[in-house]
């Protein structure tokens, strides 16, 4: 494991948001290599991790971009990575741990693991191709995405690896073509299979990770299982299981009860538990669309944890004719949103046109008022 120098003042900087986290090596330590400087990105917002800066550069993931290439639904990507940070926070507190992009699994490794098992690729974690093309007879690709996150703690003047989180993104639908550039077909994968296959893959990943140079035998490794949303979904997938492991084999799995919803829902009638939130949202939508001409869409993503609403992202799409209209709509939203939208959970409202984001409103869980921002230009 590489060691980076760090001064003891590091954690003071987490308290000073606007202060610069540029932490040079202390000069009184003879072993200091001057060019090796450690900085952190600072914390923006109370419960975010600080990130590792090495020699002035942000330390990007060793497998950077692999997941991105794999995923046709951009919602999955953000949801997977944000969700993985949230799973990590259950075990690695942002006040104590520093976030580092994954440094142990390389692009090549992750690409091999995400592939099918074959003579050329014995490490593939997806089942071998059985040659069948029928949706229900072929072996689908279960594992679609993998992400490593490292969690560091201070160890004297150094940073030490103190935790790893691995997210496994599992397909609920596997898209494939029967010939190159051919029509797209799909194999549906049941929730039971997603869970069973995910757990089996997780066991292999943990074993391999323990053998990886620098990881060590007892550093806590979280493995979190994520069910990817289908390509046509307007919201990303959800995490459903995670396990914190100190040894070589998987310890007990814990449930994550997470559910996403899109408002207005396609069917018109909401699924259980969401109906009240949805009717509130519908009232908000009616109010806003009545207020303003040319609003082409008012939609929302909602997320539920343990059957309670945990957050909402509202998107308002429109063709605006003037900046004064954007300002007025934003002011109006700041008035009606607290009245109609659920309280006690974080809510983002983004107003966008074909020219991009025009304004946005935001309220954190504990606040009453929405803060507003209208994007301007000189």
Question: Scanning residues 320 to 349, which ones bind a copy of itself (CB under 8 A)?
Answer: 321-325, 327-332, 334-336, 338-339, 348
Residue 185 interacts with a copy of itself (CB under 8 A)? no
Pairing of strands 158-171, 143-155: antiparallel
Contacts with a copy of itself in 235-254 (CB under 8 A)? 235-236
Residues 192-231 that bind a copy of itself (CB under 8 A): none
Choice from 30, 31, 57, 366 touching a copy of itself (CB under 8 A): 57
Choice between 149 and 172, CB closer to a copy of itself: 149
Give the side-chain half-sphere CA count within 13 A for 302.
25
Q: Tell which residue, 236, 313, 240, has the closest CA to residue 72.
A: 236
Give me the helices (H) in the chain, please.
Answer: 10-13, 66-70, 74-91, 107-114, 191-211, 275-291, 323-340
Token pair belonging to 231 = 């390509």
**Least Å distance between CB 135 and a copy of itself?**
28
**Pick from 50, 144, 228, 274: which binds a copy of itself (CB under 8 A)?**
50
Element (H, E) at 90: helix 74-91
Question: Minimum distance between the CB of residue 236 and a copy of itself, rounded to whole angstroms?
Answer: 6
Given the complex with a copy of itself, which of 41 and 193 has the nearer CB atom?
A: 41
CA atoms within 13 A on the CB side of 201: 34
Out of 106, 153, 154, 372, point to the residue binding a copy of itself (CB under 8 A). 372
Which of residues 37, 62, 75, 277 is near a copy of itself by CB under 8 A? 75
Q: How far is the CB of 343 from a copy of itself (least distance, A)?
A: 11
Nearer to a copy of itself, 164 or 250 (CB): 164
Stretch 120-159 residues interacting with a copy of itself (CB under 8 A) = 147, 149
| CB-based burial label for 341 (10 Å; 0-12, 13-18, 19+) | buried
| Apex 229 CA angle, 285 and 126, nearest 5 | 175
């Amino acid at each position: 494991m590489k060691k980076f120098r760090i001064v003891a003042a590091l954690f003071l900087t987490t308290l000073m948001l606007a202060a610069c986290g540029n932490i040079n090596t202390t000069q009184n330590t003879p072993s200091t290599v001057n060019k090796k400087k450690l900085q952190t990105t600072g914390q923006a917002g109370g419960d975010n991790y600080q990130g590792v800066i090495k020699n002035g550069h942000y330390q990007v993931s060793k497998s950077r971009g692999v997941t991105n290439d794999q995923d046709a639904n951009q919602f999955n990507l953000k949801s997977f990575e944000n969700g993985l940070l949230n799973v990590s926070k259950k075990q690695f507190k942002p006040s104590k741990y520093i976030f580092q992009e994954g440094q142990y699994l390389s692009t090549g490794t992750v690409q091999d693991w995400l592939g099918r098992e074959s003579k050329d690729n014995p490490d593939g974690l997806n089942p071998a191709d059985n040659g069948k093309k029928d949706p229900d007879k072929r072996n689908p690709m279960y594992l679609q995405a993998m992400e490593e996150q490292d969690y560091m703690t201070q160890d004297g003047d150094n940073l030490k690896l103190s935790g790893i989180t691995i997210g496994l993104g599992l397909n609920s639908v596997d898209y494939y073509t029967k010939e190159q550039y051919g029509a797209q077909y799909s194999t549906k994968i049941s929730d039971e299979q997603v869970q069973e296959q995910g757990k089996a893959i997780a066991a292999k990943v943990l074993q391999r990770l323990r053998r990886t140079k620098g990881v060590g035998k007892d550093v806590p490794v979280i493995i979190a299982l994520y069910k990817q949303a289908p390509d046509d979904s307007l919201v990303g997938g959800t995490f459903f299981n995670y396990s914190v492991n100190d040894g070589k084999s998987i310890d007990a799995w814990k449930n994550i009860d997470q559910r996403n919803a899109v408002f207005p829902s396609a069917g018109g009638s909401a699924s259980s538990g969401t109906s009240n939130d949805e009717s509130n949202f519908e009232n908000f939508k009616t109010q806003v669309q009545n207020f303003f001409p040319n609003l082409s869409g008012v939609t929302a993503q909602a997320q539920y944890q343990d059957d309670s609403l945990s957050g909402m992202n509202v998107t308002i799409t429109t063709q605006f004719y003037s900046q004064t209209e954007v300002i007025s709509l934003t002011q109006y939203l700041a008035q009606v949103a607290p009245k109609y939208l659920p309280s006690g959970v974080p809510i983002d409202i983004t107003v966008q046109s074909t020219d991009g984001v025009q304004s946005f409103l935001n309220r954190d869980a504990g606040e009453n008022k929405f803060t507003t921002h209208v994007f301007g230009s000189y």
